Amino acid sequence: MKVLNVVGQRVPMHDAAAKITGQAQYTDDLVLPGMLFGKLVRSTVAHGRIKSIDVSKAKALPGVKGVITGMDIPDRVYGIVPKAKDEHALAREKVRYIGDEVAAVVAIDQETAEEAARLITVEYEELPAVFDPLDAIKEGAPLVHENTPGNVSAQIHKEFGDLEAGFAASDYVFEDSYYTHAQNHAPMEPHAALASYDALNGDLTLWSGTQIPYFLKRNLSTTLVIPEQNIRVIKPKVGGGFGQKIDMFAKDFCACWFAKELGRPVKFLYDREEVFQSTRQRHPMYLTLKTGVSKEGKIIAQKITAHADGGAYNSTAPLMITLSCFFVMIPYKIENLVYEGYHVYTNKPVGGAMRGHGIPQPRFAIERQIDQIAKRIGVDASEMRLLNAIEAGEPHPAGFIINTCGFADSVREASKAIGWAEKRGKLPFGRGVGIACASFPSGVANMSHLASGCVVQLSSEGRVSVLSGAADIGQGAETVIAQIVAERVGVPMEDVHITAADTGLCPLDAGTFGSGVTVRAGNAALNAANDIRAQLFPVVAEALGCEVDEIEAANRLFWVRDDPDRSVGMRDILRQYQYIDRSLPIVGRGAWVPPADSATTLLTNNGNLSPNYSFMTQAAEVEVDLETGRVNVIKVLTAHDCGQPINPMLVEGQLEGSILGGIGYALYEDSTCIDGQQHNPSFLDYGFPTMMELPEMEGIHIDTDDPIGPFGAKEAGEGTQLAPAPAIVNAIADAIGVDFDRLPVTPDMILAALKKQREEAAGEAR
Amino acid sequence: MKVLNVVGQRVPMHDAAAKITGQAQYTDDLVLPGMLFGKLVRSTVAHGRIKSIDVSKAKALPGVKGVITGMDIPDRVYGIVPKAKDEHALAREKVRYIGDEVAAVVAIDQETAEEAARLITVEYEELPAVFDPLDAIKEGAPLVHENTPGNVSAQIHKEFGDLEAGFAASDYVFEDSYYTHAQNHAPMEPHAALASYDALNGDLTLWSGTQIPYFLKRNLSTTLVIPEQNIRVIKPKVGGGFGQKIDMFAKDFCACWFAKELGRPVKFLYDREEVFQSTRQRHPMYLTLKTGVSKEGKIIAQKITAHADGGAYNSTAPLMITLSCFFVMIPYKIENLVYEGYHVYTNKPVGGAMRGHGIPQPRFAIERQIDQIAKRIGVDASEMRLLNAIEAGEPHPAGFIINTCGFADSVREASKAIGWAEKRGKLPFGRGVGIACASFPSGVANMSHLASGCVVQLSSEGRVSVLSGAADIGQGAETVIAQIVAERVGVPMEDVHITAADTGLCPLDAGTFGSGVTVRAGNAALNAANDIRAQLFPVVAEALGCEVDEIEAANRLFWVRDDPDRSVGMRDILRQYQYIDRSLPIVGRGAWVPPADSATTLLTNNGNLSPNYSFMTQAAEVEVDLETGRVNVIKVLTAHDCGQPINPMLVEGQLEGSILGGIGYALYEDSTCIDGQQHNPSFLDYGFPTMMELPEMEGIHIDTDDPIGPFGAKEAGEGTQLAPAPAIVNAIADAIGVDFDRLPVTPDMILAALKKQREEAAGEAR
């Protein structure tokens, strides 16, 4: 692992103290003069036509400043993918799920706004609703959107190689089905928005807890009918996103709308129930895998059929189903593969991007099926994974360019570390080990709006000010970018101050999704820092009497590489540079777009979909309580090729968080929805893992040095949430011999399976 | 007057709507999570030794979070001029005026802080105090600062030509004495500060209503003992400064100190009484003028002796007395001149920079004496001014380089407009006209820290983001800078958004004082905008198939100068430029320092003290109510050479404001101090002019096109406050034949003079 002066160091997040002491400002912490408070009125029916909305009592309530319904605003839809936009800020004619927005009020305080919202009465003509994607695609099913027959709003059918020839050439063909459920991102910080409007310039400013300020700006422009250049989106601190804060929401639109209409700042804050019910969740998915293998376990052909439950709106639908498709092509070599995926509307909360975005679902199915096939054909599940492992430099069926790949090593290291040889199939009943594998892109290369820019200023006293569009949502993006700049400019971390994710101040950035920030925004920062060197180093060379390429820089000192005693300090150089001999401010500019060879048509054609790819194998050891059915995850080990970590501590944080997310996905977190009504929209009932469920965790660094990532970095943080769930369920299978095919695996399911097992054993014994 | 696309236009201030609707955020509008509130304890004696301070009751009050006295903080002094720093944030051993800071408390709310402040008891050993500078310089006078014998803390003695030879060559020599009083800036917004501290990075952020953020940063660094690069000063909206917000104050230090000590944000807000009593005021001054003239009225020699009442501390003392000295050298040619100036400590509120900064006082004396001499030797006062008028291109005794000068024209135009020939000496008793003249620098060229930088970003959708260090204090600096950038980049005003006066984000700026902002920061902005053109125009030239120097740009359109039909829009060009064909963000950088030939040693040597100079003649017509003694200023006309106005409406605003300030100086505003106690520290009692005192006002533009200022601009706003007071008092002399030699001229003084006049007339008649 590279350990340089700042890069590669375990640097604390630059805003850690501010967050811990409560000084950090999240959106709801912001207070503006004359600020008003908003509240949304939400549908109480899963599917219905709006007959009438009576806002008269709300309007009459003292302190109420504004009330709007869907008919009061432009008939403009928003969404992540241009062709799949289908959502109005407030419903116009129909509501499509319980929680859909129908009206908004603004008042002088939060209590009055909430009282006014309660005074609004909506009369619905209830329509038949549909709650399961497999029901929704049936002939005659209720249509969630009238313009989408069959309720399939996005689909992909992708073929690589020759599937039928592959099956024919296989020694065995197995078909298995799986189901994954709805998981909620459950960020600590609820969604909020605060807008203000300047009537003179027509300037709108929105502070929003968003992952993609520049994209939100674009959606606001479309729906509010305000030119993009008049909109400034600022991301305050964000208390977790995990994909849930990628979308624009009604709060964003309504805060802006009222701010413009009323000429006063307006804040909307979702309560916890709204976060669970009316933002986004991980798509539930039905998956069927038909897989042909050789008798040694080589995967010859695979067909995957997936039906994703999208809920009432598209959000990222076409993107999600495409990612789900393309990224089943790593980390295994599968020459002949067909993926058929469908995104299906239902009258339920809306699916969206969530850590892994469309990939944990097939990953669960694939990794489960590998274990099942290995058992069926009598090969070792770890060996079977190695046999199919992708390698660097090989031609890839989908056109991925994989420059570095520590995958096979990760399988070996994780298996060794968990004690695979000694434990697998050899532990007492109730205890078992499992592994699962994954790979993840470092951002997706073929979407529009993909660039990142960076501007770095070096002040006359040596303070480095970075402007980056990148959106830190708690993962530490700002710290990583600051480290890259500090390393390259040659100053300690504390000299670097970063202002990020403010579309009015910072250059363009694609946003925080798909784990692209470190590579994309990091490279932009690296380039901007290089531009600082280009301006500064000639002065240093003059001072030191050497050539520019002989200069080393660190910790505010410059020296001649081969003669370190010839050195000069940053302050001395700046005195020579700025405003005295040379009067220009030192400003570096940099940008980065994925390499040109990766530019393919928007998520349809093959090509190199990402600048680089991370790889990981995760191994779990579990103990199943045979009395209660409760699964105790004892340890989860991760052998991880994330390239060169810019900040090993932040990589560990991501690793630990994603493992807990994987444990939640495997065993606990289920956004239960019955007849369209969410039943556990609270931290108390939802039940994500806490410190009590924390396993022993260890990361094993697989060393690769990627040529594309800044200082060799690759993705870290999403990929590692893919494999824990199948690894744990594989370990459960090892522990009790039961192959679960749906998530989450609950104590009830385990007790039922054990009971069935005992009954079958008794039957066999009879 | 140049009227271009944006420059020269009557553009409203870019933040006018935000201010009018109450959305703009002044320092006290800022709210941070966990914010605490502070209050200062001030001296109740004019001069005393602190025997003891009992803070026990304050500390015991529930809700109090911290109490400090002068002994709890580093023994570090602050001030504007390095060698003249003499002020502690909290007094250590002595208090030197009523209002001097002795302790500070911080509590959970403002009420608790105030209660705690009242609970602090200070025991003083009272010392003899001195309240007049002419007493203070006497042998044996009490010493305000023990290390300053004679209480003279700054002085200047400057000789040009040969004074005695001049007097000898004169036909007449007259000696007259004058006195000007204390005027308060009385800004609408009281002084406030809000600080927060990040314990991880050691980063301190201060929001302060300051005119010089970069200088405040430096003073904070010295007194708090924190490296400058760890301090970020942000200026929110400022509701008027007029020089009063140039200094650092106890509120700034104490907010920072407590924020660091307590780990919570801390706000200090001065009440109105504190603003009047414990910030700054215009220096009262005693002036004696000995002037030799020819029989035609040509000034041959002049000696000016000035004693400024500095109050208890230096603030800008050496600077003020030097400005007062050097700028008596314009707008008249005086070959033989001696200026002897003394800044004297007294036990009174502190003098500091105020609109005109040391110059209104001698200007009043000089312009009064010219009228008196003209009358005595029987020449026309307007003709006498013309006879002595400075002209462009002439060698200047002090080394000023005057490239453009509309002064003589201003005398002619103002005289003509007021009807000098018809009215002067010819109106009925009680009614009269007067003129007075002035000149002012556009910033001072020979101070340290004088550069301005600017960074301009052009976003992919055409939004222009300007980072400027310049401090808009309500005068419209940000609007002017934005206009310059808009003009040069070729976009309408609404496309330009400016972030200014944030030392963490913006490049260095010298600050807002001496009317240097438009020339200095405006030129920096112009240079940065030129850098944008350098990056953009090659792409435009390629698109238009022309040379770069054939391109015209305005209103988001580029065209070939001689073939306007060949044009291309900004959006099209940006699409070709940013992130597609060319991936760098477009970032322009610019800086400006006064021309090298003006660099002289800090305010001692001769030289070109300013990049350029404005000139003005102001004419007043007054009516004296012979019953009440009240003076009604009927009209004030200004013939004004401020070069080419960037924004004529803002120039008019400055003109009108400064005329009201001049009327206040002449007739009303008197910060009365009796035995060291201010007697009218409130808007109600202080009595500045209101709408009721508004005269008819007219500006006459004298057209010059300066080669140094951006688009030909020169100073506007300070110079025009110099002449109204002498013009009005000259008009009073014309109206009632009484020559007042002290300010303000109150109804009491007029009634007494009229009474004396009647008695003398009666005596003569007897």
Task: Kindly report the average pLDDT of chain A as a whole number.
Answer: 95
**Residue whose pair of structure tokens reads 């350098």 in the numeric block:** B534
For the entire predicted model, the pTM comes to: 0.96
Specify the pLDDT at position B79: 94
CB proximity B590 to A under 8 Å: yes
CB contact under 8 A, A23 and B196: yes
Q: E strands, A262-384, where?
A: 266-269, 285-293, 299-311, 336-345
Chain B CB contacts of A505 under 8 Å are 465, 467, 499, 505
CB contact under 8 A, A264 and B23: yes
Nearest Cα to B39, choosing from B110, B89, B123, B122?
Answer: B110
Residue B62 structure tokens: 């529930």
Residue A367 structure tokens: 């990794």
| CA-based nearest residue in chain A for residue B586 | A589
CATH architecture entry for B285-445+600-760: 2-Layer Sandwich (3.30)
> Chain A to chain B, count of Cβ pairs less than 8 Å apart?
172
Domain A31-127+193-240+245-271 has CATH 3.90.1170.50: yes
Nearest Cα to B518, choosing from B623, B442, B420?
Answer: B442
CB proximity B535 to A under 8 Å: no
CB contact under 8 A, B587 and A587: yes
| CA-based nearest residue in chain B for residue A584 | B591
CA distance A194 to A647: 33
Specify the pLDDT at position A598: 47
Query: With pLDDT > 70 as the criterion, what percentage of chain A qualifies?
Result: 98
CA distance A294 to A446: 35
Segment-wise mean pLDDT, segments of 10 residues, chain B, 766 residues? 95 95 96 97 98 98 98 96 94 97 98 98 98 98 97 96 98 98 97 96 96 95 95 98 97 98 97 98 98 98 98 96 94 96 98 97 98 98 98 92 97 98 98 98 73 93 95 97 98 96 94 93 97 94 96 97 96 76 82 68 73 97 98 98 97 96 97 95 93 95 96 96 98 98 98 96 82
SS3 annotation, B182-206? CCCCCCCCCCEEEEEEECCCCEEEE
Strand, coil or helix: B156:
strand
* Kind plus residue range of the DSSP H or E element containing B117: helix B110-119
CB proximity B595 to A under 8 Å: no
CB contact under 8 A, A461 and B22: no
Specify the pLDDT at position A736: 98
CA distance B253 to B276: 19
Instruction: Report whether A194 contacts A266 (CB < 8 A).
Output: yes
CB proximity A29 to B under 8 Å: yes
CA distance A147 to A702: 49
- A239 to each of A24, A192, A242, B144, how far by Cα in Å? 10, 11, 10, 55
**Bridge partners of residue A496, in order along the sequence:** A464
Instruction: Report whether A512 contacts A471 (CB < 8 A).
Output: yes
Tell me which CATH homologous superfamily contains domain B31-127+193-240+245-270: Aldehyde oxidase/xanthine dehydrogenase, a/b hammerhead (3.90.1170.50)
**CB within 8 Å of B522: residues ≥ 6 apart:** B480, B481, B484, B646, B709, B710, B713
Q: How confident is the model at residue A599 (pLDDT cuts 50, 70, 90)?
A: very low
Residue A519 has pLDDT above 50, yes or no: yes
Read out DSSP for B666-724?
Answer: III----EETTEES--SHHHH----GGGPPEEEEEE-----SSSGGGB---SSGGGTSH
Residue A597 has pLDDT above 90, yes or no: no
Chain A CB contacts of B593 under 8 Å are 579, 583
Cα dihedral across residues B511, B513, B518, B519: positive or negative: negative
Read out DSSP for A520-584?
Answer: HHHHHHHHHHHHHHHHHHHHHHHHHTS-GGGEEEETTEEEETTEEEEEEEHHHHHHHHBTTTB-S
Which candidate from A200, A460, A590 shows the least CB-CB separation from B12? Answer: A200
Q: Is beta strand A336-345 parallel, antiparallel or unpaired with respect to A299-311? A: parallel
CB contact under 8 A, B32 and A12: no
Compute the nearest-CA separation of B205 from chain A (Å).
Answer: 12
CB burial class (10 A; 0-12, 13-18, 19+) of residue A758? exposed
Specify the pLDDT at position B1: 86
Instruction: Report whether B608 contacts B445 (CB < 8 A).
Output: yes
Q: Is beta strand A121-126 parallel, antiparallel or unpaired with respect to A36-42? A: unpaired
SS3 annotation, B558-617? EEECCEEEEEEEHHHHHHHHECCCECCCEEEEEEECCCHHHCCCCCCCCCCCCCCEEEEE
CB proximity B554 to A under 8 Å: no
**Residues of A301-335 as b/e, b for ≥16 C-beta within 10 angstroms?**
bbbbbbbbbbbbbbbbbbbbbbbbbbbbbbbbbbb
Strand, coil or helix: A627:
coil
CB proximity A492 to B under 8 Å: no
Residue A28 has pLDDT above 70, yes or no: yes
Chain A CB contacts of B199 under 8 Å are 17, 21
Instruction: Report whether B408 contacts B617 (CB < 8 A).
Output: no
Phi–psi pair at A525, nearest 5 degrees: -65, -40
CB proximity A199 to B under 8 Å: yes
Specify the pLDDT at position B593: 86
CB proximity B341 to A under 8 Å: no
Specify the pLDDT at position A583: 66
CA distance A191 to A28: 9
The answer to whether domain A31-127+193-240+245-271 and domain A285-445+600-760 are alike in fold is: no
Specify the pLDDT at position A593: 86
Neighbours of B183 (CB within 10 A): 27
**CB within 8 Å of A759: residues ≥ 6 apart:** none
Please, where are the H alpha helices in B127-186?
133-136, 163-169
CB proximity A31 to B under 8 Å: yes
Q: What share of chain A is helix, strand, coil (3-state, %, to 5)?
A: 35, 25, 40
Residues A231-290 pLDDT 10s: 999 999 999 999 999 999 999 999 999 999 999 999 999 999 999 999 999 999 999 999
Read out DSSP for A40-68?
Answer: EEE-SSSSEEEEEEE-HHHHHSTTEEEEE
Specify the pLDDT at position B124: 98
- What would the mean pLDDT of A205-230 be, rounded to a whole number? 96
Chain A CB contacts of B583 under 8 Å are 451, 591-593
Residues A437-448 pLDDT 10s: 999 999 887 555
Segments making up each domain of chain A, as ranges? 16-22+451-593, 31-127+193-240+245-271, 285-445+600-760
Read out DSSP for B612-667?
Answer: -EEEEEEEEEEEE-TTT--EEEEEEEEEEE-BS-S-HHHHHHHHHHHHHHHHIIII
CB contact under 8 A, A25 and B33: yes
Nearest Cα to B254, choosing from B469, B507, B39, B522?
Answer: B39
Nearest Cα to B530, choosing from B566, B584, B487, B574?
Answer: B487
Residues 493-522 of A with CB under 8 A from B: 494-495, 497, 499, 503-505, 507-508
Residues A140-190 pLDDT 10s: 999 999 999 999 999 999 999 999 999 999 999 999 999 999 999 999 999
Neighbours of A679 (CB within 10 A): 12
| CA-based nearest residue in chain A for residue B16 | A200
CATH topology of domain B16-22+451-593: Aldehyde Oxidoreductase; domain 4 (3.30.365)
CA distance A297 to A66: 65
Q: Which of A579, A580, A581 has the most B C-beta neighbours within 10 Å, making it the best mutation to test the interface with B?
A: A579
Residue B286 structure tokens: 């005693």
Residues A656-672 pLDDT 10s: 999 999 999 999 999 99
Instruction: Report whether A440 contacts A360 (CB < 8 A).
Output: no
CA distance A394 to A402: 7
Cα dihedral B75→B80→B84→B89 (10° resolution): -30
Specify the pLDDT at position A596: 59
Specify the pLDDT at position A605: 75
